[in-house]
């Protein structure tokens, strides 16, 4: 929405509200852990409470996150993804591992504003709350900047950046309406910090840099509601996206610039996911956690 130049002097600009941190408020501290047993205190500190949505939850990283969040206590989990057959299989697999949890799959296109809003509200209605939103849905593009079309460029930004925003927005609306604290975890990338070597991927890099900037804005706006917004920046991970002999030379370049000399395993990302979703991360917001084996140090 634009304002006519003649009306600029009379416009009213919205203003943000900050929390006051008062005890009992959504921005205030949690009640202390009171367990006398050390193991019980440790378990509560990293417990994931309530219900979780994981977008892109059928992929290697997203599915690993689903398992980790359920292992740490999530009572309900809904996967958002596109492939119905794969999604149902993943849902069945998780349900067999966690029979006491309520697990569902919904076919959701994260770029569809109405569809995302409907799906998040479905979770709110059927499970009673939306407590954690984890966004792994994304696409990768590696093309020379002089060759990429506007349509291709917009597609990557639409999925990775706009899609993350729509999911975060819909989750925050539910949390705010219910007056509940919440955690929103977005997936950025080392590619959002600086360009990769040697593959050209301008649209992907820009989309992930946008996710990093968006995280800051949302964390600033929603802190008063007790909603924390953070990002995780994976490095090169050992997933299907990085398989195949055609990447062997590129991998040699990645490894030559990595202090650990290897890609990360999906499990190695899960400590950050659990931290940000649990009580242990209750005073962390607007932060990015790089999980890259030091790759970004050498890029």
For residue 110, give the H/E element and its range. none
Which of 49, 104, 164, 208 is catalytic? The answer is 208
Which of 203, 204, 215, 233 is catalytic? The answer is 204
Q: Which of 180, 58, 168 is nearest to 127 (CA)?
A: 180
208 catalytic residue (yes or no): yes
Cα distance between residue 267 and residue 69, in whole Å: 12
Cα distance between residue 204 and residue 46, in whole Å: 32
189 catalytic residue (yes or no): yes
203 catalytic residue (yes or no): no
Cα distance between residue 24 and residue 31, in whole Å: 9
| Phi, psi (degrees; rounded to nearest 5) at 166 | -60, -40
Q: Which of 201, 225, 185 is nearest to 54 (CA)?
A: 185
Contacts with 181 (C-beta within 8 Å, 6 or more apart), sequence order: 26, 131, 175, 225, 226, 227, 228
Which of 104, 183, 189, 278 is catalytic? The answer is 189
Strand order in the sheet with 227-234: 102-107, 76-81, 51-55, 132-135, 182-187, 227-234, 288-291
Residue 245 DSSP class:
G
Do residues 154 and 199 lie in contact, with contact meaning Cβ atoms separated by under 8 Å? no
* Helical segments of 194-259, H only: 202-222, 248-256
Q: Which residues are catalytic?
A: 189, 204, 208
């Amino acid at each position: 929405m634009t304002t006519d130049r003649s009306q600029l002097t009379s416009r009213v600009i919205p203003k943000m509200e900050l929390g006051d941190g008062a005890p009992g408020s959504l921005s205030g501290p949690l009640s202390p852990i009171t367990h006398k047993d050390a193991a019980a205190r440790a378990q509560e500190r990293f417990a994931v409470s309530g219900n979780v949505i994981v977008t892109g939850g059928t992929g290697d990283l997203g599915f690993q996150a689903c398992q980790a969040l359920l292992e740490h206590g999530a009572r309900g989990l809904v996967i958002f993804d596109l492939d119905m057959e794969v999604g149902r299989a993943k849902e069945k697999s998780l349900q067999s591992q966690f029979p006491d949890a309520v697990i569902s799959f919904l076919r959701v296109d994260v770029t569809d504003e109405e569809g995302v809003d409907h799906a998040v509200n479905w979770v709110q209605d059927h499970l009673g709350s939306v407590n954690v939103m984890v966004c792994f849905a994304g696409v990768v593009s590696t093309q020379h900047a002089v060759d990429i079309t506007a349509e291709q460029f917009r597609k990557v930004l639409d999925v990775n950046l706009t899609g993350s925003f729509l999911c975060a927005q819909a989750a925050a609306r539910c949390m705010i309406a219910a007056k509940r604290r919440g955690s929103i975890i977005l997936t950025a990338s080392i590619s959002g910090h600086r360009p990769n070597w040697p593959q050209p991927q301008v649209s992907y890099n820009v989309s992930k840099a946008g996710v990093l900037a968006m995280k800051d804005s949302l964390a600033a706006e929603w802190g008063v509601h007790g909603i924390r917004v953070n990002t995780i920046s994976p490095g090169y991970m050992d997933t299907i996206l990085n398989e195949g002999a055609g990447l062997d030379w590129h991998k040699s370049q990645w490894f030559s610039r990595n202090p650990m000399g290897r890609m990360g395993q999906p499990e190695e990302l899960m400590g950050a996911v659990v931290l940000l979703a649990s009580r242990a991360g209750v005073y962390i917001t607007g932060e990015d956690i790089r999980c890259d084996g030091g790759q970004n140090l050498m890029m």
